[in-house]
Structure 1
């Protein structure tokens, strides 16, 4: 028996039905042309959505013009239904400037605010959390909008899928999670991907409404999704939809389909969403062969015209200056001085809290998120009292899901809302590493979208917290273009730099040393003020040696110098690791001729190594001694005080400094 698609039950009129057919026909004809161009070597790669057009077209047709959609590789119908000009798509696939990424990324790895489309990254999972963030921004502004996000059945195995569903469910976010179940994650069949009958069944575990829809039936897709979408706008909540469908070509063209049983291909070929719908429309007298042929020729002519436009465009070129400039969104630092001279002595931890509070007061579109940050005030009590002042819409406790929350912060930025995310300990950032280094860091360079996100990173040893709560892992991020890394050592710097971090529209990792929280005090202005990134602070001046350090290392160095008054040293507190104040480093080294670089992190691959290399390259003729690096041991951070003291670089710094001065 041939598989049948039931089109009989519908309230759609003839015009609506015709439009849905032609909307599906357009991406099919484009794909057929792209497969020819792929064989001719005119595009480099292609992920085919042939057989799945009804889902992309049906879902996108249900969205309002200003509602966001987050598609995948096989959702060409999203772009055509949103009426993205074809020449821009063709230029994108050829790596030309009329595309959306200036030749910096390929295929569908891009977004466009103009058309409210946010493309995927190859790591798949983060875009689900990004959809949460976009929806959260709508919720924050009390807008009756939904956000639709696509993934495949393979992507539902990623932790990000489960984190995103959980976040959306807990916060009642109006996200339409669209799972295209096409039977295979590349070549791995669903029976090896999950062990439940339907992916939609997972919605129950998250207290979430879910549906199963025939993804090859355009009438069912459009009618049911329209009804669900309208209901979500009035009654905000997440909904999970599993679309049953099939991929008629390989994961990408090079992979082929040899792993698919022939009878399965035959079955689904007979359920082609376009051919079946065409037969129905013809049988009902809604369309004629002549009308279809006429429209097909118009689409093909449009494809040819726009391909010609893309082909004639010059190959992409760029200056090194432009490439570097686009890594970050332009930020004009504004120096803001305290309005009064009133100061108070506060602890390091209080200064951070003041910076956050005053940043929240100045920026009404700023949301603070993190585990236990609301009623409890954070594990270090930095946000104590914030919930009462700013309300639960702006101070949000999060589930324990770093990756999902960082992705959510990215989505907030896309939809115009700032955020500060507290990583309870910087060690836990490893659970959110992917969205930081692959999404937040790259997004502005890729398609001109900034990530207006501050990640607070309580870090550092010296408090007996052991291997999982003591790392100072700044070097993981300073080597990733697109991130800014700040690491203050004093209350005054912490407050001013926090203010700037919130104002800066780029992703900032703000390291806060836990051992300094309650041990360091300083006079700090009560009023709001800012301090610039990329400017080191010269704590002490001397002509014998340059000490370059940051964080707790600054205080170790001060202690040693206080005990060795005979050593005349420049003590340079970097404060900002990315951007780095190279000028201050070089000026000090040229003056003293000797340099010791102190870091709390273990030695290999740390900041000290890169600074040492920079000094060797730029200041070699000024050096009177080898550059010395001092760092902690090459082990995880131990818990016992005796072992921790032995681990830390503090113990050997004084000896190494004296040896260098005497060299």
Structure 2
């Protein structure tokens, strides 16, 4: 193995050696503790240390790294305390994720490390967002994201590389090609001769290196960083190495031919680097023993202290408190503010414009939202006023753009991601429910991302442009979900979503865009997320609803003045205003839950169950649900009308009143 020293000093070479050796010795200790039952699981990076260590050494300490679970050298290279790391591996509340995450699925702002999730691909898009922030600030910084050869088959890999190339982002994508994805060899994973060949398809530079050569990794990442910054383009590096142990220790390596293990054992990165330093007379047997003994003492000391620590008691209150980052209080409009009649769509557009004016760090991203103004022309003219750096057209890759939004949030930006139609959110589902929703609970990182979703039927758009899919997300802790019904609420909830540091899914009903008008304060104001609105009081029946259902309920009440209807507009679907629901139930004792979404598994089921559990003594009749048919949304006008709950309202209400 040839080592290119270049201008690295003797002192630096010895430091490099210690940083390469340290994670190996830590891991050897962890394997011993694993057999003793003191840690429950371990993903071994033995034999691959040179990649994590070399890449970390090549970057500045304030440049973000997005590692995987075999990159212990990143964490030790960023000087994370071993005691706290060990608490993390134990699942102790004293760890970086308070016992909420396993092994290396955590991050640390202090150390500029972003924690992975088990899905492997999503961290690549987060790196895009981090580098976009650097680019916007004109900072000479890169981000570096790791993936394995198996992860390159995921759609997120291709989306992230394409976005980085199209936007000219200084990102380094580093593939650790270690031969196997669990037990599946590379010949069953891809057909190109080398993964680095994929770089050309995205118009970026590619480099293939020996991942077991510490200095080759170090120089390659340094070179990639220089290229990424000078050319403002991403770089793809394929680092060849081998996984010497199982995917995780319980997996074993029986599926690996013994000769292959023997071949790669001869390329051990530590043994070869030791030999190089001995050749330079910087190391000898005595010095190696001295360094190992010193490191062993430090490791044993830290581990013993960690083992003797007492973990705090589990607290339900603490767990629930950490689901969301603290949000600001609502800001009502000034008493003297002018009020103008506006359509629903204009109220949204005005809210977006005022948010851009209020937050210079707010970035909009979506398909066709710049010069074209978006599919519904809501952002028309925005790019002329605020510039294309802030109003960004995106490729057709919802997942990567949501991930980029999270990367921007890590860097202190706010972002809005527009789904051209709410139905398309399925393509970004993983990022939303596993990254945005969980990241604050996992390691205290907020996700300051608003996702706008034009949703709903009634416009003859068929099954893939008409869904009401809010219930997919109200089940996920960590998300906030709002669904306004009036122009004033549309603006106030939108501005509240931008003020909130948590991920907010903002549903806007397409059929309301140009059909509904109402008074809207012209100044900045917010409506409290999690606070329902009493549309009207009544004595006979309580209708709990949101979105288009509010207008159906109002129309029905006007057509049937003989019935006294209490109408509650939820406005926020997660978190729900349970106090308002309880009050609505007590007002009449007869409750209809009305929503456009399909019946089975809709939000009405959750509300109905809660009422039955907490308000049973206030009920004079069973809780009823009136919802969309359990079918896809059909295209033909009569079929769509038949699908909508509005056609069954009268029957449901009369049945309920008859009790």
Aligned to 1:14: 10
Partners of 1:84 and 1:323 in 2: CA distance: 25
| Cross-structure match for 1:110 | 106
Partner secondary structure for residue 253 of structure 1? coil
Q: 1:108 is paired with a residue of what secondary structure?
A: coil
Q: 1:340-359 residue pairs with structure 2 within 5 A?
A: 340-359=336-355
| Alpha-carbon shift at residue 308 of structure 1 (Å) | 1.2
State the alpha-carbon separation in 2 of the partners of residues 507 and 571 from structure 1: 28
Matched with 2:543 is: 547
Residue of structure 2 equivalent to 1:390: 386
How many Å apart are 1:9 and its aligned residue?
Answer: 6.0
Q: How does 1:76-95 map to 2 (within 5 A)?
A: 76-95=72-91
Residue 370 (str. 1) matches residue 343 (str. 2): no
**Contact 2:105/2:115 (CA < 8 Å) preserved in 1?**
yes
Equivalent runs, 1:28-67 vs 2, <5 Å: 28-67=24-63
Distance 1:618 1:9 in 2: 71
Task: Spell out, residue by residue over 1:612-634, the C-alpha distance to the aligned partner (whole angstroms, 9 max, x if none).
Answer: 11111111112111111111111
Structure 2 unaligned blocks of 5 or more: none
For residue 560 of structure 1, what is the aligned residue in structure 2? 556
Question: Is this contact kept in 1: 2:439–2:447, CA < 8 A?
Answer: yes
| Offset, 1:149 | 0.7
Q: Structure 1, residues 8-58: CA drift from partner, whole Å, max 9, x if none?
A: 564433222222111110001011111100111100110111111111111
Give the CA RMSD over aligned residues: 1.1
Match of 1:578 in 2: 574
TM-score using structure 2 length: 0.99
Deviation at 1:346?
A: 1.0
Pair 1:631-2:627 in alignment: yes
Query: Which residue of the other structure, out of 193, 200, 208, is the alignment partner of 1:204?
Result: 200
Partner of 1:505: 501
Report runs of 4+ in structure 1 exceeding 3 Å deviation: 8-11
Return the TM-score normalized by structure 1: 0.98
- What's the CA shift for 1:406? 0.6
Structure 1 position 271 matched with structure 2 position 267: yes
For 1:659, the equivalent position in structure 2 comes to 655
Residue 579 (structure 1) shift? 1.4
Q: Distance in 1 between matches of 2:176 and 2:589?
A: 64
Matched, 1:191 2:187: yes
2: CA distance, partners of 1:436 / 1:11: 45
Distance in 1, matches of 2:581 and 2:445, equals: 33
**Deviations along 1:399-440, whole A, 9 cap, x unmatched?**
101111111111111111100100111111111110111111
2:330 & 2:76 partners in 1: Cα distance? 42
CA distance in structure 2 between the partners assigned to 1:590 and 1:103 by the alignment: 41
Residue in structure 2 matched with residue 260 of structure 1 by the alignment: 256
Contact preservation (8 Å) 1:487, 1:575: yes
Aligned equivalents of 1:336 and 1:295: distance in 2? 64
Cα distance in 1 for partners of 2:95, 2:559 equals: 62
What do the CA deviations read for 1:198-224 (whole angstroms, capped 9, x no partner)?
110000000010100111111211122
Which residue number in structure 1 is paired with residue 299 of structure 2?
A: 303
CA–CA distance in structure 2, aligned partners of residues 301 and 412 of structure 1: 41
> How far 1:316 sits from its partner (Å)?
4.6
Contact 1:347 1:518 in 2 (8 A): yes
Paired position in structure 1 for 2:420: 424
* Aligned pair partner of 2:646 in 640, 647, 650: 650
3-state DSSP of counterpart to 2:32? helix
Partner of residue 430 from structure 2, selected from 425, 431, 434: 434
Q: How much does 1:584 deviate?
A: 1.1
Matched with 1:380 is 376
1:323 to 1:9, Cα distance in 2 relative to 1, 3 A: closer
